[in-house]
């Protein structure tokens, strides 16, 4: 009989005082969380929103240009970099930014053709073909390699020259320079440490003839 009595027991009354109903409704409303229980205020940091920017071409530091100076060129050249400027019949100019070379020097010339200039031209890279100037000065930098026929007024060599050199006024071969070819000039200067393989022919100074 104890089990039957337990099943027939009267449920507790749901009637409650008005203040009990208000307390129950207040507990049922979810409370606003003002602070995370797992993180302290010092650990809360602002979240940086990434800003998408337009994709740009990867930049590089260009190496020294193959030639420095104003010249007229006819031929082909290999470019691994950026070319900017205008190419036309008159008043045209191109700016070439070559990528720096990694490893050994490229055996292929960067310029292969005919170069003519008036005043002064400096060669800093690998050039092949012909270089001509009736009154100009050609400077072959210490890092340059010229495989060409040179016919200029003044030629100052600090790098490697493979080919015949004609200097109508003078030719200067600096220390550390290598010249493999014949030199024809009225005035020749070769500093100690230079290497010269070829013949030398002394010309008449055309300025004295005038």
Higher pLDDT, 173 or 81: 173
Candidates 147, 126, 143; CA nearest to 177 is: 143
In a domain, 192, yes or no: yes
Place of tokens 């205020």: 41
Residue 86 within any structural domain of the chain: yes
Q: Which residue has the higher pLDDT, 78 or 27?
A: 78
Residue 83 lies in a domain: yes
Which tokens is 68 given? Answer: 């420095």
CB atoms within 10 A of CB 102: 5
Two tokens at 76? 């082909």
Instruction: Examine the pLDDT at 19 and tell me if it is beyond 70.
Output: no
Task: Note down the domain range covering 182.
Answer: 67-99+108-209
Decide: 95 and 84 in contact? Cβ < 8 Å.
Answer: yes
Average pLDDT of the chain? 80
Q: Please, which residues have CB within 8 angstroms of residue 157's CB and are 6 or more apart in sequence?
A: 140, 165, 171, 172, 173, 174, 177, 179
Label each residue of the chain as H, E or C: CHHHHHHCCCCCCCCCCHHHHHHHHHHHCCCCCCCCCCCCHHHCCCCCCCCCCCCCCCCCCCCCCCEECCEEEEEEECCCEEEEEECCCCCCEEEEEECCCCCCCCCCCCEEEEEEECCEEEECCEEEEEEECCCCEEEECCCCEEEEEEEEEEEEECCEEECCEEEEEEEEECCCCEEECCEEECCEEECCCCEEECCEEECCCHHHHC
In a domain, 170, yes or no: yes
Total domains present in the chain: 1
> What does the pLDDT look like over 141-182, one tens digit per residue?
999 999 999 999 999 999 999 999 999 999 999 999 999 999
Residue 6 lies inside a defined structural domain of this protein: no
Does the pTM of the predicted model rise above 0.85?
no
Beta bridge partners of 26: none
Q: Report d(CA 114, CA 29) in Å as an integer.
A: 90
Residue 127: inside a domain: yes
pLDDT given for residue 146 in this prediction = 97
Ranking 25-34, 54-63, 201-210 by mean pLDDT, the lowest is: 25-34
Instruction: Answer yes or no: is 164 within a domain.
Output: yes
Evaluate whether residue 36 is within a structural domain.
Answer: no
Q: What is the pLDDT of residues 46-72, one digit of tens each?
A: 666 666 666 665 567 777 888 898 888
């Amino acid at each position: 009989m104890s089990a039957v009595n337990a099943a027939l027991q009267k449920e507790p009354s749901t009637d409650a005082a008005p203040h009990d109903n208000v307390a129950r409704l207040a507990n049922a409303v979810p409370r606003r969380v003002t602070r995370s229980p797992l993180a302290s205020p010092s650990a809360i940091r602002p979240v940086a929103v990434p800003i998408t920017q337009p994709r740009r071409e990867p930049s590089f530091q260009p190496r020294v240009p193959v030639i420095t100076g104003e010249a007229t060129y006819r031929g082909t050249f290999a470019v691994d970099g950026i070319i900017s400027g205008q190419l036309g019949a008159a008043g045209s100019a191109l700016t070439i930014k070559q990528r720096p070379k990694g490893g050994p020097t490229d055996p292929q010339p960067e310029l292969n053709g005919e170069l003519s200039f008036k005043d002064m031209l400096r060669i800093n890279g690998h050039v092949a073909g012909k270089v001509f100037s009736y009154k100009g000065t050609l400077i072959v930098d210490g890092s340059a390699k010229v495989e060409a026929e040179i016919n200029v007024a003044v030629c100052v060599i600090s790098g490697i020259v493979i080919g015949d050199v004609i200097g109508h006024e003078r030719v200067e071969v600096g220390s550390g320079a290598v010249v493999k070819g014949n030199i024809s000039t009225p005035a020749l200067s070769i500093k100690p440490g230079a290497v010269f393989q070829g013949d030398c022919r002394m010309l008449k100074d055309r300025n004295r003839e005038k």
